[in-house]
Amino acid sequence: MLNCYHCGNEIIENEMLVFDDKKFCCKGCQTVYELFSDNGLTNYYDFEKNPGAKPKDADAKFNYLENADIVSKLLDFQEGSTQIVRLYIPHIHCSSCIWILENLNTLNSGISQSQVVFSQKKITIVFNSETVSLKEIVLLLASIGYEPYISLENFDNKPKLIDRNLLYKIGVAFFGFGNIMLLSFPEYFNVNDYWIHQYKDFFRYLNIFLALPVFLYSATPYYISAYHSIKAKAFNIDIPMALGIIVMFLRSLVDIFFQDGAGFLDSMCGLVFFMLSGKLIQQTTYNFLSFERDYKSYFPIAVTKIENKAEVPIQVYEIEKGTHLMIRNEELIPVDAVLLSDTAYIDYSFVTGEAVPVEKKSGDKIFAGGKQVGNAIVIEAVNSVSQSYLTQLWSNEVFQKRTSQKLKTITDRASRIFTPALLSIAFIGFIGWSFVSFNDAFNVLTAVLIVACPCALALTAPYTWGNVIRLMGKRKLYLKNTAVIEQLSKADALVFDKTGTLTSNKNQQIKYVGEHLTKEELMAVKNIVRGSNHPLSRRLYMFLPECNIKKPLLFNEIAGKGIEGVFEEYHLRIGSANWLEISDQLVVHDTKVYIEIDHKVKGYFVFENEYRKGIKKLFETLKDRNYQLYVLSGDNNGEEKTLRQLVSVDTQLVFNQKPEDKLRFIENLQSHGKNVLMIGDGLNDAGALAQSNIGISISENVNVFTPASDAILDAGAFTKIPYFLAFAKNAMKTIKMSYCLAISYNIVGLSFALSNQLSPLVAAIIMPVSTATIISFVTLMSGIYAKKSKG
């Protein structure tokens, strides 16, 4: 039987096409091969299975994508020639799918980036609309076997599709297994009946007929995977599986044709059935855990809603179509909206990587993911928020840190070593037992090939991380990815920012010292600080009396220094003493913000810092666990005495730190071999958060979205930091214990198999059970450690 080199379908001989000595079932498959070959992507054929659906003539089908209104509804982002679209592709299901889809830029130069979310079967494509249209991209995907499913209604709620081919293969395998078992019962029990004895050969040949579909159809995933694995010289577990199936079938043919027994056709069909069932269980479990791991859909980003001229902080998931939102300087725009203010300058670097702000006018559409640069603006939401989109921005590879994932490397190396070692053990066992009995040798060979499965070993790390990251999310620490857990377990130096991190915005007293400010001057100050997201600005804005909103002619916020604003009547600068170049005799040892109006310092607002409850116990606990502790502050040392009463004696306090000073401080610690955990408010700490090994951003009713952070911590869970650190360390213990369990299982299984005390069928049943055992173990231990980890 001839099969197409691209899609694997059977070839009708008179329709066969040949190109480069490769055989194809149709012109479409040949065209795809030529496309891959011309662009250096033939490595696609070295992966697991050629999974794309057979290409179809889809040109007319997607003519509606020439309609600009329809395209605009499908796009996630559209600014100038840069457009971003997310497409649902049902045919995504293996590593080769991911590989080819993330290399689309080599097939079309208009595509700058493509990223696959495997669990959701979605691909995000960034492209230049002047070079390639959405229709051309969709046709390209269809031509290589990945036709997207496009619906304008409930696109995001499209349910996951189960692989129907896998279900068909399981059904055929079960049919063959059940019927062959029934027809073989008389031989199992040595029924001495004349009629059964007379037609024994007929039943045996009937069993061969029933086993053929299982051997030639149901088991094909293992043959194809093993073939490509050998071709790519990357040995995987499907090699011994395929070998075991083939050996059992051939041995059964020999036994039946030479009247030497009934063979092992029932065991072969049972083996295929249980292995495919195990694969289905794995896929279903993975999809469930992927849904459970969607913890980031709830991470706490708040935004200010304008309601009856009042400003009310709300969670992003409360945004509805028509909601009026106020976006301050450096705040994220969480939803597609229309600009109501006169002008805005939007920084789309989170989305496109381009940091030059784009000017928008009243009535223009603004896309989610941009950041407002400058004075506060008012927008009207045109739809509800897509938190999965915000999560995708946070996880953009542009903002990923280059951290080593040692456990992943260990798992990959173990899987590569395991298969050659397993084959060696199997053949040594076969040769040894062949001196006793060829039948026993055959049983040992197949049992060893089946029972010793590295799947349990390979699943240990991802399932542990997935469960831990979900449990942490429930306790309000939202991690960017699983690598952060390992980094958390390694942290030995903790650096805290003071303002907005150790201090809270609630119940803080503010008093003014200096020359009297007129009502008009106070109104100008309030309208300037209104546009800032700094914790001191927010507190001062809430403290000042209500007044009419007036937009400044000029607004400029300088990180770590202050704010500058211009009205028709006034020129204001609000910020630190150093920035305003104030002489020493005016400096009082408190946290303060100075007010300069028309180049004259009027006075300052003194902030009595309200520190978060539980800080003293937090620092004592961390010190007892041998962490090195540091506190960095942009203020002067006026708070040192107060801080000393709250933090441990050995905590190093460093004051007068600008954003660049904080970054250099982190670098210095790392140069001395420290694994640094930085905890800040995400405003003036972005550089330090990015430089640290792990950066955690505190969220407290502030729509500050910093991709530099590895995690977002709800302010209410601040004192749980020791708990999260302990839980991360215990997750490492879970990994090591589950590795030991998986290895122990394989040792015990091999011992029984090599001693000929394990049948191939029992081995096939045990194999998925071992995988379920590992998943259950890591889930159980993660749950236990989640309760026992001390905070």
Q: How far apart are CA 464 and CA 472, in angstroms?
A: 12
Say yes or no: 335 and 372 in one domain.
yes
Give me the pLDDT at residue 163, please.
Answer: 65
Give me the pLDDT at residue 630, please.
Answer: 92
With respect to residue 13, please indicate whether it lies within any of the assigned structural domains. no
Other Cβ atoms within 10 Å of 390 Cβ, number: 22
Say yes or no: 122 and 202 in one domain.
no
**Eight-class DSSP state of 284:** H
The domain spanning residue 335 has which CATH number? 2.70.150.10
Give me the pLDDT at residue 124, please.
Answer: 86
Residue among 499, 491, 463 nearest 722 (CA)? 491
pTM of the model: 0.61
Domain C-terminal end among 610, 629, 663: 610
Burial zone of 259 (CB within 10 Å; 0-12 exposed, 13-18 middle, 19+ buried) = exposed
Q: How far apart are CA 563 and CA 576, in angstroms?
A: 10
Alpha helices in 237-332 (DSSP H): 238-257, 265-292
With respect to residue 598, please indicate whether it lies within any of the assigned structural domains. yes
Give me the half-sphere count of Cα atoms (radius 13 Å) on the Cβ side of residue 432.
Answer: 12
Alpha helices in 23-105 (DSSP H): 27-38, 68-74, 95-101
Domain C-terminal end among 334, 362, 387: 387
Kindly list the distances between the CA atom of residue 148 and the CA atoms of 54, 627, 733, in Å, as whole numbers in the listed order: 13, 51, 42
Give me the pLDDT at residue 561, please.
Answer: 81
Give me the pLDDT at residue 43, please.
Answer: 59
Contact between residue 376 and residue 329 where contact means Cβ atoms under 8 Å apart: yes
With respect to residue 438, please indicate whether it lies within any of the assigned structural domains. no
Q: How far apart are CA 450 and CA 528, in angstroms?
A: 71
With respect to residue 375, please indicate whether it lies within any of the assigned structural domains. yes
Say yes or no: 157 and 75 in one domain.
yes
Say yes or no: 201 and 140 in one domain.
no
Say yes or no: 43 and 156 in one domain.
yes
Domain carrying residue 342: 300-387
Contact between residue 684 and residue 498 where contact means Cβ atoms under 8 Å apart: no
Domain C-terminal end among 339, 364, 387: 387
With respect to residue 427, please indicate whether it lies within any of the assigned structural domains. no
pLDDT along the chain (791 residues), means of 10: 64 66 65 64 54 52 78 80 84 66 81 77 86 88 78 48 77 90 72 68 88 92 79 66 80 80 78 76 55 47 78 78 85 86 81 74 86 85 72 58 45 61 83 84 76 61 74 82 82 87 73 86 87 80 80 82 87 86 58 86 82 87 90 77 81 84 89 90 74 84 61 85 91 83 79 77 64 76 78 57
Say yes or no: 622 and 493 in one domain.
yes
Say yes or no: 621 and 483 in one domain.
yes
Say yes or no: 337 and 207 in one domain.
no
Say yes or no: 247 and 324 in one domain.
no
Say yes or no: 514 and 624 in one domain.
no
Give me the pLDDT at residue 292, please.
Answer: 45
Residue matched to tokens 């329809």: 70
Say yes or no: 75 and 124 in one domain.
yes
Work out how many domains the chain is built from and give that number.
Answer: 5
With respect to residue 288, please indicate whether it lies within any of the assigned structural domains. no
With respect to residue 760, please indicate whether it lies within any of the assigned structural domains. no
Residue among 552, 524, 80, 520 nearest 342 (CA)? 552
With respect to residue 733, please indicate whether it lies within any of the assigned structural domains. no
Say yes or no: 581 and 511 in one domain.
yes
Residue matched to tokens 């960017």: 480
The domain spanning residue 659 has which CATH number? 3.40.50.1000
Q: How far apart are CA 4 and CA 13, in angstroms?
A: 11
Give me the pLDDT at residue 217, please.
Answer: 92
Kindly list the distances between the CA atom of residue 683 and the CA atoms of 374, 525, 578, 609, in Å, as whole numbers in the listed order: 14, 21, 19, 18
